[in-house]
Amino acid sequence: MNKMPKPVATTKETVTLARADWEMILGRLDDTADRTALRRSLARAVVDKDDALPAALYRRVRRGENALRIWREYRGLGLNALARAAGVSAPYLSEIENGTKPGSAVVLKKLAHTLEIDMDELV
């Protein structure tokens, strides 16, 4: 375990530490903040597990596969079911997924809402 820092000098209102001791304290604070952030993130992941793609699916998006198709499949929806739920025609949805049409902002917003994700996930 790390040693406790020893003050170089003290007054009624101040404590002077060696730089190495000060940096050790800062490092401990960073470690504590990192551990706290990690615990909070993991807790959110348990509660909001459906709000993020699993790593394997995220890698598919990064490789250039259509994010809309990946999210649709992740949510367990067929193309026709998503189209119906979002009020979009199935052929138009298919064209968006295949990259032959970009999809309007209005339609992408409907699809994102239906998939319960931010529109940013689709663009």
Q: Give domain limits for the chain.
A: 7-47, 53-122
Closest CA to 122 of 65, 78, 84, 83: 65
How high is the pLDDT of residue 43?
64
Q: How much is the average pLDDT of 56-63?
A: 88
CATH fold group of domain 53-122: 434 Repressor (Amino-terminal Domain) (1.10.260)
Helix (H) or strand (E) holding 91: helix 90-98
| pLDDT tops 50 at residue 3 | yes
pTM above 0.85, yes or no: no
At 7, the pLDDT band (50, 70, 90 cuts) reads confident
User: Tokens 């663009």 correspond to what residue?
Assistant: 123
Q: How much is the average pLDDT of 110-119?
A: 91
pLDDT digits (tens, 9 = 90+) for 76-109: 989 999 999 999 999 999 999 999 999 999 999 9
Q: Are 108 and 86 in contact (CB under 8 A)?
A: no
- Please state, for a pLDDT cut of 90, what percent of the chain lies above it: 38
